[in-house]
Amino acid sequence: MIITPIKDGIVLDHIKAGNAMEIYNILNLGELECSVAIIKNADSVKMGKKDVLKIDKMIDIDLNILAFIDAGITVNIIKDGKLLKRRHLELPEIVKNVLKCKNPRCITSTEQELQHIFKLTDKENRIYRCIYCETKAKINKKR
């Protein structure tokens, strides 16, 4: 299999094996008019298996959403065929409009225009709480 290097764009590396399609869909990469390569289950010394996404265009990506999905991702910015910047992600302290509060008495249930904002309260267990009512949203999937 030959996947050519990109000249200008973004490489999302060290994605947990199996998460690439979820990221592809959440970032709406199917709507782009450029090449997007999805490499699934690639061998990795560090991880055993990993996924990689290569986007042949510079686009704006919400790194908080990306880190929320998979905090182990490495974001590589490529310019003129060379690595310009590398960023390792961590769980975001705040996530907006990614989770929805399950509490029917929360103000977000009645005030539809309010953003759903959650604050990280327990990093080890990936627990976020609604900033309005403090309802817990535990992210079960270990990423």
Reply yes or no on whether the pLDDT at 118 is more than 50: yes
What six digits make up the tokens of 48? Answer: 């055993």
Domain span at 29: 9-88
**CATH number of the CATH domain containing 57:** 3.30.70.140
For residues 84 and 14, membership in a common domain is answered with: yes
For residues 13 and 39, membership in a common domain is answered with: yes
* For range 3-25, the mean pLDDT: 91
For residues 15 and 80, membership in a common domain is answered with: yes
For residues 84 and 47, membership in a common domain is answered with: yes
For residues 49 and 21, membership in a common domain is answered with: yes
> For residue range 48-77, what is the model confidence (pLDDT) as tens digits?
999 999 999 999 988 888 988 888 899 999
C-alpha span between 23 and 14 (Å, rounded)? 13
Q: How confident is the model at residue 132 (pLDDT cuts 50, 70, 90)?
A: very high
Reply yes or no on whether the pLDDT at 143 is more than 50: no
Give the helix/strand (H/E) hosting 108: helix 107-110
**Is this structure's pTM higher than 0.85?**
no
For residues 18 and 84, membership in a common domain is answered with: yes
Give residue 64's pLDDT. Answer: 86
For residues 58 and 98, membership in a common domain is answered with: no
Report residue 59 CA to chain centroid gap. Answer: 14
Answer with the residue of higher pLDDT: 104 or 4. 104
* For range 84-110, the mean pLDDT: 92
Which residue do the tokens 């869909």 mark? Answer: 25
